[in-house]
Chain A
């Protein structure tokens, strides 16, 4: 048993050398990535809402159970599973106002639902002022 532990230690040290070089090469991965041009935060969204220059429509891209449990004030549900049923309410909320900014959120940074919904909204409605909320519901 002692020999096995010693061998694992040797292998771990040997692997640590290229791993450290790789970590140095990819050191930027340890920094928080900046916001993409189509990403926003809760703080920025709240600032937009306070400014009142632009109407904000929040879209909750999580599943229906999560939406029913809790959601941001005024947010409308829209997920790909129930797209056809939920989209009319979004279109109605958008109305004729061309200056409405849509902010889509899902669970957290790991969920892809908000981005998928944002892409589909851009494609189907032709609306371009759409942001994805980085960090999602859990970062509020």
Chain B
């Protein structure tokens, strides 16, 4: 009976890991084929100019895919989760900034063709914030388990 809560937490963590990997795998794949469109989506935030936006558009999808796979490799899981939590936090700040400035853009999170407008951006903001929190929780849990194993 005492194992029930830990089992529930373990199952929740496993499901969350799968979900995070799936979301970022899909996000990466959806942006790889059209870097110009993703670069434009980044540019539309009016935070970074064209060349840095292009570099991010060419690099970030591969990092997202790499991290999605690395989540399932125990020796790389912490790094992948830390990077994805950081990324999601940055996305959250970008989207909040766009909302604050009244920009009528789509988030660009899953390539082009996303909905524009304030309501769509609010949904993207909530999703990015949730992803950041889940990644941070999974990272914390993974680190606690790793330190527990090290003490044994």
Q: Does B35 lie within 8 Å of A26, measured CB to CB?
A: yes
| Cβ contact within 8 Å between B79 and A6 | yes
Main SS at interface, chain B: helix
Closest to A3 in B: B78
Additional A-B contact list (20), CB under 8 Å, known A8-B83, A12-B63, A19-B63: A3-B78, A4-B78, A7-B70, A7-B79, A7-B82, A8-B79, A8-B82, A9-B79, A11-B70, A11-B79, A15-B63, A15-B65, A18-B62, A19-B58, A19-B62, A22-B62, A26-B58, A29-B39, A30-B51, A30-B54
A11 surroundings in chain B (CB, below 8 A):
63, 66-67, 70, 76, 79-80, 83
Could you tell me if A29 and B35 are in contact, using CB atoms closer than 8 angstroms? Answer: yes
Main SS of the interface on chain A?
helix
User: In whole angstroms, what is the CA distance A23 to B46 when docked?
Assistant: 22
Taking a contact as CB atoms closer than 8 A, the residue among A9, A14, A110 that contacts B46 in the complex is A110
Q: Does B75 contact A (CB under 8 A)?
A: yes
- B98 within 8 Å of A (CB atoms): no
Contacts of A5 in B (CB 8 A): 79
Q: With the chains together, A23 CA to B51 CA distance in Å?
A: 12
B63 contacts which chain A residues (CB < 8 A)? 11-12, 15, 19
Interface residues as binary, B30-70 with A (CB distance below 8 Å gives 1, 0 otherwise): 00100110011001101000010011001100110111001
The 4 A-B residue pairs with the shortest CB-CB distance in the complex, in nearest-first order:
A7-B79, A15-B62, A15-B63, A19-B59
Say if the beta carbon of A89 comes within 8 Å of chain B.
Answer: no
**Size range of the chain B interface in the assembly:** 20 to 34
Q: In the bound complex, how far is the Cα of B55 from the Cα of A80, in angstroms?
A: 34
Chain A residues closer than 8 Å to B39, beta-carbon distance: 29
Which residue of A has the minimal Cβ distance to B103?
A110
Q: How far is the CA of A102 from the CA of B130 in the complex (A)?
A: 48
Please tell me if the beta carbons of B36 and A26 are within 8 angstroms of each other in the complex: yes
Kindly state whether residue A10 has any CB partner on chain B within 8 Å: yes
Contact string, B71-86, partner A, CB cutoff 8 A, digits 1/0? 0000110111011000
CA distance A5 to B55 in the complex (A): 21
Contacts of B55 in A (CB 8 A): 23
Minimum CB distance partner of B146 in chain A: A3
Q: Name the distance in Å between B89's Cβ and chain A's nearest Cβ.
A: 14
Closest to B57 in A: A29
Q: Are A7 and B78 in contact (CB under 8 A)?
A: yes
> In the complex, what distance in Å separates the CA atom of A5 from the CA atom of B62?
18
